[in-house]
A and B are shown apart, each in its own frame.
Chain A
């Protein structure tokens, strides 16, 4: 069974850097075709894809947020970390960790974490 779980601060101040960790089980991020990424959702709004890192260390970022995002992986710990700099109240929302397996669902996000809520406020 594949599971992903997000962890990190629930409250950050404007201009601070957010660091979120996705800890997963049931698969390896060294397996060809596998990626782990992040998607966020402001309250009452649509989903927004942020970033994804693949088994071969390829990193992809949302063009609108690329300058603020960094995604890294630690295969031995089964973790993926997302950092977002210069946080602003508009970054408030639920942040989801997702698994993409090209072999199973091609470009679809087949498994989602439960999400973690982040509030940006002074």
Chain B
């Protein structure tokens, strides 16, 4: 089955830059998506089609793609950005399916 791999945790000081990676073999061929989930809350879409931000998402969030790795970057991290982040993509190799990454806990020091 298709898998998306993320680092379990990323720690960053306020005002610094956090980079969260997501790796998967199909990522050069399909779009990636990112979700932020705070404790006790439903996830929120923060990036779609690799690098597009939904309305209402601060511009300190950005996305990029390079080969089999996509990256969510949070510039000027704020305390409120502490959360779990999940990447998501699709597996179109056989049938059209959705896949989530393993998740990354971002801790603001």
> What 0/1 pattern do residues 24 to 56 of B give for CB contact below 8 A with A?
000000110101010000111100110000100
B102 CB-CB contact with A under 8 Å: yes
Interface residue from A49, A62, A115 paired with B42 (Cβ < 8 Å)? A115
Tell me the number of A-to-B contacts counted with CB atoms below 8 Å: 65
A63 CB contacts on chain B under 8 angstroms: 1, 97
| Interface size, chain B (Cβ < 8 Å) | 26
Please, which residues of chain A bring their CB within 8 A of the CB of B33? 105, 107-109
Q: A46-B86, A49-B100, A106-B31 are in contact. Are A96 and B42 (CB under 8 A)?
A: yes
Chain B: CB-nearest residue to A110 = B45
Interface string of B84-98 (1 = CB under 8 A from A): 001011100001111
> Which residues on the B side are within 8 Å of A39 (C-beta)?
100
Contact with B along A7-49 (1 / 0, CB 8 A): 0000000000000000000000000000001010000001111
On whether the beta carbons of B103 and A46 are closer than 8 Å, the reply is yes
25 sampled A-B residue pairs with Cβ under 8 A: A37-B98, A39-B100, A46-B100, A46-B102, A46-B103, A47-B35, A47-B43, A47-B88, A47-B100, A49-B98, A49-B100, A60-B96, A60-B97, A105-B48, A106-B49, A107-B33, A107-B98, A108-B49, A109-B43, A109-B45, A110-B45, A110-B48, A110-B54, A114-B42, A115-B42
Measuring CB to CB, which residues of chain B are less than 8 angstroms from any residue of chain A? 1, 30-31, 33, 35, 37, 42-45, 48-49, 54, 86, 88-90, 95-103
